[in-house]
C-alpha cells in the first residue's frame, strides 16, 4: 500500500499511460498536476484539478480495497489450501487411502477422508474440522488399478 | 376415439416404408397420442425421431404429416437406437469403449481416439497399453485384449507409442549395501550416545497426475472415431463437483455417475505390493470394475472430462483430461 502511494506521488519517470478513470495520457498523478497548472502547496498529487482529484481518490480507494481483500484471503485459506496442507498427515494415518474435497448433503464443502475398511481408531483420531472446514470419513475399501 | 387398432396397424403397415425413409425417423409403432405431455385416448402412429426439429427446419419430404389415411400421427424424440453390443468382441474399425490391451496384460478399455501432430492415436492407461511401465515403445497392442481372446498377429491393431511412467511410492529398501551402511553408522551413533538412527529406504516417489499412454494404429482405416453406446465426442470440459458423468467400458459397458469429490489425493494399488500416489483426481461413485480401466469419462453433452483408471467397491477414480492431454500433448 505505502509502496503504491509513493509510486503515485513521487515517481515522475513512469511511462505515459491512460488514466484509469478519465482515459487521458498522463505520467501518473504528477501528470495531472502539470496539465492543470495548479500550484497549491503540499503533496503534488493533491494539487490536481477537482475532477482529476476525484479520479485519484477513487483510484486510491480501489487500490486500498484490493489490499484489504488480499489480507482477507490470507486470513482464511481456501479449502484446497487447507486440504493440501494436511494431506500428507492424513494419508499417514492407518487405513487412509484418499483425501478429497466434496459436499455435505446441505451443500457445504467438506474434506473427505477415504478408509480401506472400518477403522474406529483412525476415525476417533481424525480432526472434526481443519481451519474451519469440516472433515468426514468414508469407507471406500482399497483402491486398485482396474 | 372410434379408431380401432386393427385399422391403425393396417395403415402403418402400408405407410411404414415411407415414414422410415424420412431423414430423422428411426422407429414407427402404434401408441396413444400424447398432447402437451398428457396421454390422450386416441390411437396414433408414433414416429420416433433422432431429434425433434421445428417444422421450418425440415424439408417437405422429411416432415411427418399430422394424419395418415385419417389416423393421427405423433412424433417423439428418442435419439439413435443402438443394439446392445458386446464390448469384448473384435472390432474393425474399432470405436472407444471396447476391449484392448498390451500383449502381456489381461484386458482394459480403448478410451477414445485422440490426435497428436495431426495423427490418430488410441488413448488408454499406462497399465493397459504399457503394462505399468514394463513395456517397450513399439510393443504390439491387441484388440480385443489377450483375456478376451486377442492374439498375434490377427488382432494386432496398434503399437505402443508413448506412456507417462507411473512413479510408485517408497518401499523398504532391498539394497543390502544401503542397509549395511545404515547398520554401521547406527552402530557408531549408539557408541557416541546419539539417539538418532538411519534407515535405508527408497527415495519418496513423486505424486502422479495421470495413468496414461497412447498407441498408433497400424492403419487409419481401423479408426472409428466415436464411443460404443455413446456416440461422437463433442469437445472437452472441466470436471466439476456434482457433474453427471458416464462411461462406456469393456466390463460394465455404459454406466453413469456423479463427480462426488475433486482435488483427490489417493493411494492406488497396482498389484505385487506396488502402490502409487495420485493427486488432482476426480472421484465418482461405483461405476466401474476391473477391465474398465482406460474408459473415457464424459459429461451429459458428450464432452470429455476424464480418463478412468482405478476404483474400489464404492468409488471410481478418474484422471482429469486436461492433465492427460497436457502430459502427452494431445487434442481431439
Name the pLDDT band for A51 (thresholds 50, 70, 90).
Answer: low
Name the pLDDT band for B51 (thresholds 50, 70, 90).
Answer: confident
pLDDT for B250 beyond 80:
yes
Q: Which of A103, A139, A144 sits opposite B241 (nearest CB)?
A: A103
Instruction: Say how many CA atoms lie within 13 Å of B278 toward its Cβ.
Output: 33
pLDDT for position A74: 57
A64-78, B177-191, B248-262, B294-308, range with the lowest pLDDT: A64-78
Name the pLDDT band for B55 (thresholds 50, 70, 90).
Answer: confident
pTM for the structure as a whole: 0.67
pLDDT for position B212: 98
pLDDT for position A9: 44
Query: What pLDDT digit, counting tens, does each position of B265-281 carry?
Result: 999 999 999 999 999 99
| C-beta atoms of A144 and B310 within 8 A | yes
pLDDT for position A3: 45
Question: Please, what is the average pLDDT of chain B?
Answer: 91
Mean pLDDT of B318-330: 98
pLDDT for B221 beyond 80:
yes
| A-chain residues near B127 (CB < 8 A) | 145
pLDDT for position A40: 43
pLDDT for B329 beyond 70:
yes
Measure A118 CA to nearest chain B CA, in Å.
Answer: 14
pLDDT for position A29: 45
Alpha-carbon separation of residue B142 from B148, B152, B220 (angstroms): 10, 7, 15
Minimum Cα–Cα distance from B316: chain A residue: A143
A66/B120: higher pLDDT: B120
pLDDT for B236 beyond 90:
yes
Query: DSSP assignment of B234-272, as one string?
Result: --B----TT-EEEEEETTTEEEEEEEEEEEEEEEEE-ST
| C-beta atoms of B309 and A139 within 8 A | no
| C-beta atoms of B263 and A97 within 8 A | no
| A-chain residues near B263 (CB < 8 A) | 80, 83, 100-101
Mean pLDDT of A40-44: 45
Mean pLDDT of B32-59: 90
pLDDT for B2 beyond 80:
no
What does DSSP assign to residue A118? -
**Cell reading at A3:** 509502496
Alpha-carbon separation of residue B292 from A34, A106, A114, B102, B224 (angstroms): 72, 32, 22, 15, 19
pLDDT for A17 beyond 80:
no
pLDDT for position A67: 53
Closest by alpha carbon to B311, among A98, A100, A94? A98
Strands A109-115 and A133-139: parallel
Q: Which of A99, A138, A139 sits opposite B265 (nearest CB)?
A: A99
Name the pLDDT band for B43 (thresholds 50, 70, 90).
Answer: very high
- Contact criterion met (CB below 8 Å) for B271 and B251: no
| C-beta atoms of B310 and A143 within 8 A | yes
pLDDT for B263 beyond 90:
yes
Query: DSSP assignment of B199-247, as one string?
Result: --BPPPPPPBS---EEEEES-GGGEEEEETTTB----B----TT-EEEE
Handedness of CA A73, A78, A84, A87 (dihedral sign): positive
Q: Grid coordinates 500383449 are at which residue?
A: B103
Q: From CA A135, how far away is CA A113, in angstroms rounded?
A: 7
**Cell reading at B29:** 409403432
Closest by alpha carbon to B202, among B243, B174, B230? B174
| C-beta atoms of B266 and A114 within 8 A | yes
pLDDT for position A5: 45
| B-chain residues near A138 (CB < 8 A) | 314
Which SS3 state, helix, strand or coil, does residue A73 take? Answer: helix
Q: From CA B164, how far away is CA B311, in angstroms rounded?
A: 20
pLDDT for position A48: 46
What does DSSP assign to residue B327? H
Query: What pLDDT digit, counting tens, does each position of B152-168 carry?
Result: 999 999 999 999 999 99
pLDDT for A57 beyond 80:
no
pLDDT for position A60: 74
Query: What pLDDT digit, counting tens, does each position of A110-133 carry?
Result: 999 999 999 999 999 999 999 999
Residue B86 bridge partners (DSSP):
none
- Residue A64 sits at φ, ψ, to 5 deg, of -70, -35
* Domains (range + CATH), chain A: 2-72 (no CATH), 79-139 (3.30.300.50)
For the beta carbon of residue A100, count every other beta carbon within 10 angstroms.
25
B7-21, B177-191, B261-275, range with the lowest pLDDT: B177-191
| C-beta atoms of B261 and A139 within 8 A | no
Amino acid at each position: 500500500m505505502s509502496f503504491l502511494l509513493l509510486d503515485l506521488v513521487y515517481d515522475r519517470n513512469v511511462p505515459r499511460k491512460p488514466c484509469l478513470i478519465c482515459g487521458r495520457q498522463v505520467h501518473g498523478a504528477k501528470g495531472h498536476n502539470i496539465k492543470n497548472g495548479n500550484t497549491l502547496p503540499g503533496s503534488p498529487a493533491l494539487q490536481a484539478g477537482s475532477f482529476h482529484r476525484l479520479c485519484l481518490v477513487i483510484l486510491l480507494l480501489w487500490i486500498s480495497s484490493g489490499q484489504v481483500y488480499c489480507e482477507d484471503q490470507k486470513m482464511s485459506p481456501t479449502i484446497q489450501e487447507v486440504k493440501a496442507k494436511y494431506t500428507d498427515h492424513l494419508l499417514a494415518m492407518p487405513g487412509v487411502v484418499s483425501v478429497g474435497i466434496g459436499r455435505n448433503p446441505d451443500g457445504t464443502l467438506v474434506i473427505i477422508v477415504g478408509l480401506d475398511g472400518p477403522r474406529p481408531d483412525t476415525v476417533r483420531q481424525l480432526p472434526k474440522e481443519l481451519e474451519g472446514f469440516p472433515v468426514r470419513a468414508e469407507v471406500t475399501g482399497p483402491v486398485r488399478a482396474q | 376415439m372410434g379408431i380401432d387398432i386393427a385399422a391403425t396397424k393396417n395403415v402403418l403397415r402400408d405407410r411404414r416404408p415411407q415414414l422410415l425413409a424420412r431423414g430423422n425417423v428411426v422407429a414407427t409403432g402404434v401408441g396413444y397420442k400424447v398432447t402437451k405431455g398428457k396421454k390422450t385416448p386416441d390411437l396414433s402412429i408414433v414416429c420416433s425421431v433422432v431429434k425433434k426439429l421445428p417444422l421450418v427446419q425440415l424439408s417437405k419430404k422429411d416432415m411427418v404429416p399430422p394424419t395418415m389415411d385419417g389416423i393421427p400421427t405423433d412424433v417423439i424424440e428418442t435419439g439413435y437406437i443402438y443394439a446392445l453390443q458386446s464390448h469384448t468382441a473384435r472390432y474393425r474399425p474399432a470405436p472407444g469403449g471396447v476391449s484392448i490391451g498390451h500383449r502381456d496384460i489381461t484386458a482394459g478399455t480403448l478410451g477414445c481416439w485422440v490426435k497428436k501432430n495431426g495423427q490418430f492415436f488410441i488413448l488408454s492407461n499406462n497399465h493397459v497399453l504399457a503394462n505399468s511401465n514394463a513395456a517397450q515403445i513399439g510393443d504390439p497392442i491387441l484388440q480385443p485384449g489377450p483375456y478376451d481372446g486377442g492374439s498375434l498377429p490377427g488382432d494386432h491393431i496398434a503399437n505402443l507409442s508413448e506412456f507417462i511412467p507411473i512413479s510408485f511410492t517408497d518401499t523398504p529398501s532391498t539394497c543390502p549395501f544401503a542397509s549395511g551402511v545404515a547398520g554401521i553408522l547406527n552402530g557408531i551413533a549408539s557408541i557416541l550416545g546419539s539417539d538418532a538412527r538411519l534407515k535405508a529406504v527408497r527415495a519418496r516417489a513423486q505424486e502422479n497426475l495421470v495413468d496414461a499412454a497412447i498407441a498408433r494404429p497400424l492403419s487409419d482405416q481401423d479408426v472409428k472415431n466415436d464411443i460404443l453406446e455413446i456416440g461422437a465426442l463433442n469437445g472437452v470440459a472441466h470436471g466439476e463437483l456434482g457433474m453427471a458423468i458416464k462411461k462406456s467400458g469393456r466390463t460394465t459397458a455404459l454406466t453413469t455417475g456423479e463427480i462426488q469429490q475433486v482435488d483427490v489425493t489417493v493411494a492406488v494399488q497396482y498389484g505385487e505390493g506396488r502402490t502409487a500416489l495420485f493427486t488432482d483426481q476426480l472421484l465418482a461413485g461405483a461405476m466401474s470394475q476391473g477391465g474398465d480401466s482406460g474408459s473415457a469419462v464424459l459429461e451429459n453433452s458428450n464432452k470429455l472430462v476424464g480418463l478412468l483408471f482405478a476404483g474400489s467397491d464404492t468409488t471410481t477414480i478418474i484422471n482429469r483430461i486436461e492433465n492427460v492431454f497436457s502430459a502427452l500433448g494431445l487434442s481431439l
